[in-house]
Structure formats: C-alpha cells, structure tokens
Structure 1
Amino acid sequence: MNRFENFKAGLIKDNPVFGLYLGICSTLAITTTVNNAIGMGAAVIMVLVLSNMIISAIRKIVPDDIRIPVFIVIIATLVKIIQMLIEAYAPALNTSLGVFIPLIVVNCIILGRAEAFASKHGVLDSALDGIGMGLGYTVAVIAMSFIREVLSTGILNIVNPFNDAQVWLNVTLIPADYTIPLFNSPVGAFITFALLAAALSAYKTHADKKAEAKAKEVK
C-alpha cells in the first residue's frame, strides 16, 4: 500500500478496535463518557506517533534478540511523560481515566504497530501509520462512548479537559424516562462493541464483494 492507503486503512478497514480487535480491554472500560474517549484517544495518538518514530529511527541499530524489551522501555517512557502532563494540566481527566493511562504501556495496539510496522519502515511512514491507527482508535472509542453515554443518561456532556468547570456542550438528546442504564455497565459496553464491530465487518464484506465484481468486469 502507498502512504495514503496505509493511513486510511487504520481509520476504517483495519480499524484497530473494530477491525483488528486490539486494545479492547481499555476500550470497554473507558467508553462511559465522550470526555474519557477524547482524552484517551489523544494520549494513544501521541504515544503511537512518537513511539513509532523513535523505534523506526533506531530500528537498524537495535539487535533483534532485545528489540521487544527496547520497544517496551521506549513506550513506557513516553506513557509516563504523557501521564505526568495529563496529571499536571488535566487533573479531572487524570482522575476519570485513572489506571488506564499507565496501562497504555501494555495496549497491544502500541506494541503491535511497533513490531509490525515501525521496526520495518522509515520514520515518515511510521509516523503516518501511528496517526492513522491512533485516529482509528480515537474514532472507535468516541463512537462507543457517544452511544453509551447518550443511551444511558440521555445527555451528551463535554467539558474542557483542562478545566472541568467549563462546559463546552451539554445537550439532552433522550428524555430521562427513555434512557437505558444498562449501557453504562460492562454488559452495555460489550453490546455496543459487538454491534459496531458487526457493522464494520458487514461493510468490509460488502466492499470486498463490490471489488471482486469490478475485477470480473475488467477481465
């Protein structure tokens, strides 16, 4: 694939959450509010892009037998730096996400892209891959959070991550009598994930059949 196709694949076709089924644990846990999703998505994008670039830059000098420990050290260092920045400048978000910020270290999306892509490609390609996969993850968690938050509370509430007293958006979309509290529970998270993953799978199947039909017409 060329650079644009590789970048686009992470958004839809090879979406890390709904297409490759990576990072599901954190996705199910933090997608109770859109605020959580935006914060976690931004953190994952930063770690993905920076770790991909660093690993790509040093890929030729790291011995194969220790590459995984080296990748983990790089990722852990970046996660700690980002965690400290969030704790300093967005304490409310840090409290809301809790342990899931440091657990980005073991998010299989990060290490997976380091091993599968960054360790084999140049810095620019690796940066684009990180952006594409990071945006794909962010879109996935925002989609899940939007569905779960609106169905469980009826309200879409977005606040300034640097000042939780400043509300950016607060709108009631569903009357309180018609909300479904189930979607604020782990069961609701699994249901939402399953429906969105099934929708992406159906889309990919349709796209593949359409591509096969066009190929036959050309022949």
Structure 2
Amino acid sequence: MGDLSNIAKKNILKENQILIQVLGICSTLAVTNNLRNTLIMGVGVTLVTALSSMTVSLIKDYIPRTIRMMVETLIIAFYVIIVDIILRAYLPEVSKALGPYVGLIITNCIIMGRAEAFAQANKPILSFWDGFTAGLGYTLVLLIVAFIRELLGFGTVFDIRIMPSSFTPWTIMVMAPSAFFVVAILIWIVKSKVIKGSEKK
C-alpha cells in the first residue's frame, strides 16, 4: 500500500504531468473551454495511460529493444481506437465536439512517458496504478482550467447557467490562448510553493 500511496502522491501532486513536468499541454489548450468535454477527454487519457502501461509491463520482456517504442505506440493506438469507438457509439455529440483530439491522444507524451519511465521497469499492477494516477493528475488540472474558462467564457458550469444574466462573458476565455494564461498562472503558483517548501527544508 505504501508504494501505491507514494506513486499517487507523486503523480497527482509532487510531479504532476502538467504543472511540474509541463507535459500534455496541447490537449490542455484544445479542449478545456467546456467541462463536460474536458472530463471525458481526461477519463479517456487516464484509461489509455493505465491500460497501455499495464500492457507494456506485461509484454516488456518479449519486446526487442530496437522496436520497443514502435510497439508501445501500437499498444497506445489500440486503446485510443477503443476509446474513440465507444465515444462515437454512446456519446456522438461529445465525439464530434472533441473532433481529432481523441485521435491525438496517441501523441500525448504523458502516455509514452509513463510507458518508458515506469512500465518498462515495473510489474503490471504497479504500472497500471502509475498510469492511472498520472492520468488522474492530468485530468484534475484540465478540470480546473476548464472550470475557470467555462465559467468566465460562457457563464456556465457543466452547461448549467451559474453567472447572473447581467454577466458579460469574457470572449477570450473561449479561445485557446486563454488556456495559456490559466495554465501559466497555475504553474507559477505550484512552482512557487514547491520552491518555498524546498527552502524551508
């Protein structure tokens, strides 16, 4: 349990994929103006990361080193295709709204990073947990960004009107550049706390 707890704390807080390692920024900018779409994208990335890490760990001893990254990409693509099929079948509106970004999960460096950095050297269950918590940390940051952007850009939260009718939406919050500002502020806040924490030690 200690290992599981340490992995979760590291991936969600101490070494968050977006705030600390600054990975997966493209999807952060692309899909975070709507909480519903962001949540579904986050769940998709989390499942793909967890399952692909577990699969890589299961077969790592049978993969020649010279082609391991190609095999990892193939494994990731397999799970992304499954996620895309499920979205098209059961959530067609969300699938249409996300457009090509679901397919681009394949290129998300968080997934390949966990496969290379952790799954290649650890057992399947730990690798699954590492991928799951890395995806969870990624999703939490996306949801924070999406909450701010949707609230200020549309006056809604999960498409439910929150702001009063007199509220004037901030048009910039609907556009991708606003995600840069929000993510930058979050990184600044987190990095400042990390630096202060290390100075106290």
Q: TM-score, normalised by structure 2?
A: 0.94
Higher RCO structure (Cα 8 Å, ≥6 apart): 2
Q: Which residue of 2 aligns with 1:184?
A: 174
Matching residue of 2:100: 99
Q: Partner of 1:11 in structure 2?
A: 12
Question: Structure 1 residues 56, 180: CA separation in 2 closer, same or farther (over 3 Å shift)?
Answer: same
Out of 172-181 and 119-128, give the one that drifted further. Answer: 172-181
Q: For structure 1, which runs of at least 5 residues remain unmatched after alignment?
A: 159-169, 213-219
The 5 A counterparts of 1:119-138 are: 119-138=120-139
- Choose between structure 1 and 2: higher strand proportion: 1
Where has structure 1 moved over 4 Å in runs of 4 or more?
A: none
Deviations 1:173-214 (A, max 9, x none): 35543432211112211111111111111121222233x1xx
Cα deviation digits, residues 39-86 of structure 1 (max 9, x gap): 100100110111011000111111111100000010001101110011
Instruction: Output the CA distance in 2 between the equivalents of 1:80 and 1:146.
Output: 28
Residues 12 and 134 in structure 2, CA contact (< 8 A), matched pair in contact too: yes
Query: C-alpha distance in 2, partners of 1:5/1:206?
Result: 21
Larger radius of gyration: 1
Q: CA deviation at 1:17?
A: 1.1
Q: In structure 1, what is the equivalent of residue 152 of structure 2?
A: 151
The one-letter amino acid paired with 1:49 is A
Q: For 1:98 and 1:172, how far apart are their aligned partners in 2?
A: 27
Give TM-score, length-normalised by structure 1: 0.87
Question: Distance in 2 between the 1:78 and 1:2 partners?
Answer: 26
Alpha-carbon distance change, 8 to 120 in structure 1, aligned in 2, over 3 angstroms: same
Alpha-carbon distance between aligned partners in 1 of 2:81 and 2:136, rounded to the nearest angstrom = 21
Aligned residue identity for 2:176: P
Listed as ranges, the matches of 1:152-167 within 5 Å are 152-158=153-159
Once residues 167 and 47 of structure 2 are traced to their aligned partners in structure 1, the CA distance between those partners, rounded to angstroms, is 40
Inter-partner Cα distance in structure 2 for 1:157 and 1:116 = 35
Aligned to 2:111: 110
**Secondary structure of 2:69 counterpart:** helix
1:203 to 2:193 alignment: yes
Q: What CA deviation, in whole Å up to 9, does each residue of 1:72-127 have, x standing for no partner?
A: 01000110111001110111110111100011001101111101111111111101
CA RMSD of aligned residues (A): 1.4
Contact 1:151 1:174 in 2 (8 A): no
Query: Percentage identity across aligned positions?
Result: 34
1:30 aligns with 2:31: yes
User: Number of paired residues?
Assistant: 200
Distance (Å, rounded) in 1 between the aligned partners of 2:167 and 2:41: 31
CA distance in 2, matches of 1:53, 1:176: 50
User: Secondary structure of the residue that 1:132 maps to in structure 2?
Assistant: helix
Task: Determine the structure 1 residue equivalent to 2:183.
Answer: 193
